[in-house]
Chain A
Amino acid sequence: MPGLIEFRNATYRIGERTILDKLTLSVAAEETLVLLGRSGSGKTTALRLVNGMILPTGGELLVDGKATANSDLIALRRSIGYVIQESGLFPHFTVEQNVGLVPQLESWAPERIAARVREMLQKVSLPPDEFAQRFPRQLSGGQRQRVGVARALAADPKVLLFDEPFGALDPVTRLDLQREFLRLRAELGKTSVFVTHDVREAIKLGTRIALLDAGQLRFIGAPAEFLACREPEARAFLEVFEDAQ
């Protein structure tokens, strides 16, 4: 059975440089695939192929059986939630306007947007009465990331993409948000692709881990299999993991 997201020999080159080299993998419905790798390994590029932020220069990428190159990219992006480091919230929008952005772009009725925003803020543990009218600069880093997650969830997307969403947070807030992520996943059962360079985060959050190195897939499998992997790049990450224990 084909996955919800299919990378088929997906390649991305900028000039002579190959960022992603013939990546083939599939993401099944409701799983969390973690793309693990060092800086420059191609993991963010792989993520950006999924919602058509970039198109593959070779091979193809299918979402729900349809190649992104033949898709209406605006519609595709609105059907996929996206959370990035430092949240990317609009500084001139209130929390309410930020969370309601995609529903508003999709021309939902105002009452429906307002109700949806309240529901989403409650989901990410931000009391709407206290937070809806604030601006992003009036929030802590952790609160901003929660708003970022609420915004990604607002239009009920079929897929969620996370690009090192907790990378800039202090360790305590980070742990907090990782637990929140697991709770939300149990509750919502969304398909997610999660980019990180933190091996502990990968093992904690992933149902499967894909290890990328220099644009190539070195390993893909469950966290338990990853722990036993002998591949050199995997060993390098596991050393970090063991060192931290």
Chain B
Amino acid sequence: MLSDVLQDLLEEGLPLLLEHLVLVLSSILIASAIAIPLGIAVAGNARWRGLAIGIANIGQTIPSLALFGFLIPIPYIGGIGQHTAIVALVVYALLPILRSTVTGILGVDPAVRDSAVAMGMTNRQILRKVELPLAAPVILSGLRIATVTTIGTATIAAAIGAGGLGVFIFRGIASVDKVQILAGAIPAALLALGADGLLGWIERRCVSV
């Protein structure tokens, strides 16, 4: 009897877990592709830096359910389904990644940057061989925060038909079924813990070099 319930959950749950992973990974990849280059570009200039972080901050302050709702009527990027959810999740992930990139680049010892210039390195070489490797642990810590929060926020994506583990949670709430809620919440929490552990491990390996 109980095993039948678990069997059903498992059968339905695996595809949802996969959907959830797709939502999170695509959002983090897109957000990184935007925020890391942007962070590098604005780090050196106080005005651009303030502007970029300010805009990312505004994105962060919109309540997530409201943001999903706002996006539905917008043409091209909006509508019902996965891509709308990814747009919203990207908006949330931008700030931690952008902020950590800027912090990481600014944290490079000025004497080290100075001597890189004095050795005759080009700006590109300084970025690739000095600034990025030294900023990597800090950038990774931002990526880690972004990933963990995105795994949680992505459960809300089910509200606009994007699938993922949130499907269990919303259904559980609607039918007052604790087992369904837990079936969504526990894997999401485990996923977050796993991602945190994995990225933390990479971050530590990065620091020890």
Contact = CB atoms under 8 A, between A and B. Distances in A.
A32 B39 CA distance: 43
A105 B125 contact: yes
Contacts of B122: 74
Interface in B83-122: 109, 111-112, 114-122
Interface stretch (A18-26, A81-89, A113-121, A210-218): A81-89
Interface in A129-170: 151, 161
A75 to B, nearest CB: 7
A51 to B, nearest CB: 6
A88 B120 contact: no
Nearest to B129: A90
Interface in B24-78: none
Interface string A68-107: 0000011111110010111111111000000001100100
Interface residues of B, number: 17
B134 A105 contact: no
Main secondary structure of the interface of B (DSSP, over half): helix
Interface in B106-152: 109, 111-112, 114-122, 125, 130, 133-134
A53 interface: yes
Contact of B120 (A84, A89, A102): A102
A91 B119 contact: no
Given A84-B111, A86-B111, A92-B209, A77 B120 contact: yes
B51 to A, nearest CB: 25
Nearest to B110: A88
Interface size class of chain A, counting residues whose CB lies under 8 Å from the partner chain: 20 to 34
A77 B119 contact: yes
A100 to B, nearest CB: 11
B134 A91 contact: yes
Given A75-B120, A105-B120, A84 B134 contact: no
Contacts of A87: 111, 115
30 contacts: A51-B118, A53-B117, A74-B121, A74-B122, A75-B120, A76-B120, A77-B117, A77-B118, A78-B119, A84-B114, A84-B115, A84-B118, A86-B111, A88-B109, A88-B111, A88-B112, A88-B115, A88-B116, A88-B118, A89-B112, A89-B115, A90-B130, A91-B109, A91-B134, A92-B133, A92-B134, A102-B119, A105-B119, A105-B120, A105-B125
Given A84-B114, A89-B115, 18 more contacts: A53-B117, A74-B121, A75-B120, A77-B117, A78-B119, A85-B111, A88-B109, A88-B115, A90-B115, A90-B116, A90-B130, A91-B109, A92-B134, A101-B119, A102-B119, A105-B120, A105-B125, A161-B118
Interface of A: 51, 53, 73-79, 82, 84-92, 101-102, 105, 151, 161
Q: For the complex of A and B, list the 3 residue pairs with the smallest distance between their C-beta atoms, beginning with the closest.
A: A88-B115, A78-B120, A77-B120
